[in-house]
Chain A
Amino acid sequence: MKPTATGAATGEDGHAWPFAVSRTKHKDWRPVMAPGHMIAQGGEYLLVHASDPGDLPSPSPVFERVVTTKRYGDLTLVARSLPATADLIGGSPKEQLLDGAGRPIQLIEGLVLHGRHRDCSSRWQDQLPSVHTIAQQVFPEFWRSEDEAAPPAPSQPLTQPGPTAHPGSEPGQITDDEVPAGSTIPAATGRLNTGGSGKPPARCVLMEVIATVVGMAILHVLIRMVRR
């Protein structure tokens, strides 16, 4: 399912893109990471105000938000807010990161899905630790950079864990009609699009070997029958 210009989905919530928003000592609220297609279209800033936790405390419980946008249609966000602590930049988790004016910095991280998917947080919130892992990878560069024009890190979609809609496929595998054109979908633990191709799962390799051996055996039998 490729995100369309209107962003409308067909009602399936099989893909969710990790995102994170935060600030630094000198830079104001902005995305740390965002869906690659939103960055390419210059529309990632809506994640900043769409993911506002409002009066929720920090750390917050997981919250769900549906927003209607002109550019992407309806978007569903599953997110949480937590204090940005120094372990994000290699320091102590007990040290709160502060901005230049002494205000505590928050990290809002979560998943964004195209379309309206009410109550999907129960299905996706288990992926939030994976999102946090990804955020931890990109935050140091976000913190260091003083370039106001720098885009956020692009994220690629996660697939929903558990039984899929396509019988015969393994969880985390890709089927042709699920893959957005030109993108790669990482395994269930999630990763950023680093440009390289990942290794196929071991199970796939084994099955291919078995299929090859069986095929060769059948061919061998057929050849012997013909020679007789």
Chain B
Amino acid sequence: MTNINVHALGPSGSGKTVFMAAMYRQLRIKRGNADFYLKTDHATAVHMNSVFNAVANPQEEWPASTRVPSEWAWGLTVTTPSGDFEPLKVKHVDYPGAVLTAPRAAEDERFQKVIGQLKSAHALLVLLDGAGVLACLRGEPQGRRFLDFELSGSLELVQQTRCPVHFAVTKWDLLEDDHSLQEVRDLLLGDDNFRDLIQGRFETPAGPIRLIPVSSVGNGFAAIQPNGQMEKLGQPARPYNVEVPFAYLLHDHITHVHAELQNADQGLLNRVQRHLRIAETSDLTGRNTGRLVLARELTRRALASRLAKSLKGKNPVLMALFSNENELTDGLFFVMQEISRRATALAEKRRTAEAATIASLRANVHDQISALQLAETQFDQIRARFEQQYPESLLAGPQMAGSGWEDTDQGLLADAP
């Protein structure tokens, strides 16, 4: 099983807790043709559901602000005819926003632990408070506070990491009627700190950076009153796009791991690639399963120790993702297969090949790796739908082989105002 630590960055009121509760709400049930859902322990489920219910109930007040750090974990469960697999576990820390904004909070041991967890995340999602963004667009004083102060703690933390990052504009329901994502993009890239941070991340192997509009409650649920308070309007809560950041999670993780491995030992990767080419065909049919298992075993015996030593010396953070050499080899194979699949999918104009690929994958799921491949292919569909709807969401997209960005000419800073 792959364990990934994914955390949200944002000051108080940006929507960290509610966003996670809405995301869990959305993904705890299999939707449409998806073969996956999120599973968690009972205490976490009760907490997440109670947070969301407090949000969704028009008779209840908004949930209280988080004051104590807590950790949550979800398992990605893939259901197939041959059984259920849980190939991915995601850990997340929820915390009071003061961790990022109050200098004296940094002296607290418990908060220091949270900062450490945020800095060592495998992926980060920066939550941009939609109410703050709206205030900026309207030229209101609190908009200035949002850009100059509330955002700065998050940007500073992002600067200190190498992991994949995306930005989510929360409370998008407040903005959608009057403002476009392009406007928000231009606003943010007009801020020196934001623009320079994005520019600096071009050089890291963390992959593209997206701006994702999300709403934990949906359109027409709440409105900002003249006194600045959010009032519930009595409509049912219908979150949207809350699953999109999760859909990028695995994709980004693979891209990041691949890039870091390339930096660590390209020669070893080439040898792994050769083993893979011997074993598989582009459609990953069941005939090659045995050969794939054999190739993986050979790689494990021949290369795992050396790769582990190499990674440990050059990238201990990456090494920490794999608890033993077996996981390392499996993870490595998965990464290489996924990179190969992306390149193939691009060449075959992915959408027409997708349905056949998914059906084939579903029929041949036999272990956690193949279950992860099936889930990732379906996440790919979610990403494709989102990117088609919001092509302007790309903030920065370094051209990386197999990343799927070779055919895009959008999002580079050249077109920033």
Contacts and interface: CB of A to CB of B under 8 A. Distances in A.
B67 A43 contact: no
A98 interface: yes
B198 to A, nearest CB: 26
A149 B62 contact: no
Contacts, number: 89
B204 interface: no
A44 B105 CA distance: 9
B108 A103 contact: no
Contact of A45 (B62, B63, B105, B142): B105
B194 interface: no
A30 B65 contact: no
Interface stretch (B32-40, B96-104, B156-164): B96-104
Contacts of B110: 46, 49
Among the interface residues A43, A100, A101, A148, which one has the most CB atoms of the partner chain B within 10 A?
A101
Contacts of B230: 101-102
A147 to B, nearest CB: 10
B69 A29 contact: no
A52 B228 contact: no
Contacts of B142: 100
Nearest to B100: A28
A10 to B, nearest CB: 25
A27 interface: yes
Interface in A94-116: 98-104, 106
Nearest to B224: A102
Given A28-B96, A29-B67, A103-B61, A46 B102 contact: no
Interface in B54-112: 61-65, 67-69, 96-98, 101-105, 107-111
B69 A49 contact: yes
B187 to A, nearest CB: 20
B128 to A, nearest CB: 14
Given A43-B107, A45-B104, A102 B62 contact: yes
Interface string A1-39: 000000000000000000000010011111000000000
A101 B97 CA distance: 13
Contacts of B12: 23, 27-29, 99, 101
B411 interface: no
A26 B145 CA distance: 10
A138 interface: no
Contacts of A44: 104
A179 to B, nearest CB: 28
A102 B229 CA distance: 5
Contacts of A52: 67-68
B265 interface: no
Contacts of B286: none
Given A28-B98, A99-B13, A102-B231, A45 B108 contact: yes
Q: Main secondary structure on chain A at its contact with chain B? A: loop
A48 interface: yes
Nearest to B230: A102
Contacts of A98: 229
Contacts of B13: 99-101, 103
Among the interface residues B64, B67, B228, B230, which one has the most CB atoms of the partner chain A within 10 A?
B67
A151 interface: yes
Given A45-B107, A46-B108, A46-B110, A103 B64 contact: yes
Nearest to A43: B107
B64 A30 contact: no
A101 B62 contact: yes
A182 interface: no
A106 B64 CA distance: 9
A106 B149 CA distance: 24
A97 to B, nearest CB: 11
A33 to B, nearest CB: 14
A42 interface: yes
A100 B103 CA distance: 20
B239 interface: no
Nearest to B63: A103
A26 B62 CA distance: 16
A57 B199 CA distance: 48
Nearest to A70: B109
A45 B115 CA distance: 15
Contacts of A43: 107-108
B167 to A, nearest CB: 19
Given A42-B107, A43-B108, A23 B65 contact: yes
Interface in A67-119: 69-71, 98-104, 106
Nearest to B103: A149
Nearest to B102: A148
Nearest to A103: B62
Contact of B64 (A100, A104, A149, A151): A104
A23 B98 CA distance: 10
B61 A104 contact: yes
B69 A28 contact: no
20 contacts: A23-B12, A27-B101, A27-B102, A28-B96, A28-B102, A30-B105, A42-B104, A43-B107, A43-B108, A45-B105, A45-B107, A46-B109, A48-B108, A49-B67, A49-B68, A102-B231, A103-B61, A103-B62, A103-B64, A104-B64
Nearest 8 pairs of A and B residues by beta carbon: A28-B98, A45-B108, A28-B12, A42-B107, A102-B229, A101-B13, A102-B230, A29-B67
Given A26-B145, A28-B96, 11 more contacts: A23-B65, A30-B98, A45-B102, A45-B111, A46-B110, A48-B108, A70-B109, A101-B65, A101-B230, A103-B64, A149-B102
